[in-house]
Homo-oligomer: A and B are copies of this chain.
Amino acid sequence: MNKVVSSADEAVADISSGSTVMLGGFGLCGIPENLIAALVRRRITGLHTISNNMGVDGFGMGLMLEAGMIASHVGSYVGENRRLETLVLKGELDLTLIPQGTLAERIRAGGAGIPAFYVPTGLGTVVAEGKETRKIGDRTYVLEQALHADVALIKAWKGDRLGNLVYRKTARNFNPAMATAADLTIAEVEELVEPGELDPDHIITPGIYVNRILVGATYRKPIESEFIKAGLTQSGGAA
């Protein structure tokens, strides 16, 4: 069993235009930099992306946006990207904003065989519009549906050729849930180790969820708040 591919380009070679793609990361932390770069090189279009954020102008998913690859996006916060603003206001990109915890849980549900579930989040707000609500006990809840993707592109710290993964600090974020919720999961890691080197008690993503694994060629890992301060983008904001 060997899931290792030799490059990011090889890893994404069969992803087609129009696919639904989940991308891990929170802001610019824990994003699959090398896979995004390879996708941008492929110049496929009409992608439906699911990711908490949308990178910034000049990095991360911002590069996909600039290359005109994204037709629609589901996320919880996109405040760092002026190009997105323009596209949404011109009606060229369909943006759906949902609460971050509901986003995370919908992705987990997509990987866990749970088609729908109830949450208190968003009741009485635009998020609940058009959704079924239901009183359970003494509180009213909103019915939310699972999210599933054709492809998940994720980033881990270390992995082995069976696809077992561990993450580092807050770079974990959405990556483990997305690994479970796609037909094809591709993981990039900073270091490839031998099976058995990762303590089996510490593995966060068991290899069963991962179809392909590659070592990222380089990691830039900018810190978003500093990247923005450096003048490459100007908007500020919340998570």
Task: Report yes or no: A118 in contact with B120, Cβ–Cβ below 8 A.
Answer: no
Within 8 Å by CB of A141, from B115, B120, B139, B166, lies B115
Q: A113-B119, A116-B118, A136-B145 are in contact. List 4 more A-B contacts (CB 8 A).
A: A114-B119, A115-B118, A117-B118, A169-B200
- What is the interface of chain A, defined by CB distance below 8 A to chain B? 105, 109, 112-120, 136-137, 139, 141, 145, 166-169, 172, 199-202
- Which B-chain residue is minimally distant from A117 (CB atoms)? B117
State the oligomeric state as a number of copies: 2
Q: Do A136 and B117 contact each other (CB < 8 Å), given the known contacts A169-B201, A201-B202, A202-B201?
A: no
> How distant is the Cα of A141 from the Cα of B117 in the complex, in angstroms?
11
Task: Report yes or no: B116 in contact with A117, Cβ–Cβ below 8 A.
Answer: yes
**Which residues on the B side are within 8 Å of A201 (C-beta)?**
166-169, 172, 202
Which interface residue of A167, A201, A202 has the most chain B CB atoms within 10 A? A201
> How distant is the Cα of A145 from the Cα of B141 in the complex, in angstroms?
13
**Which residues on the B side are within 8 Å of A120 (C-beta)?**
113
- Which B-chain residue is minimally distant from A204 (CB atoms)? B201
Q: List 20 A-B contacts (CB under 8 A).
A: A105-B112, A109-B117, A113-B119, A113-B120, A115-B118, A115-B136, A115-B137, A115-B139, A115-B141, A116-B117, A116-B136, A116-B141, A117-B118, A136-B145, A166-B201, A167-B201, A168-B201, A169-B200, A169-B201, A199-B202
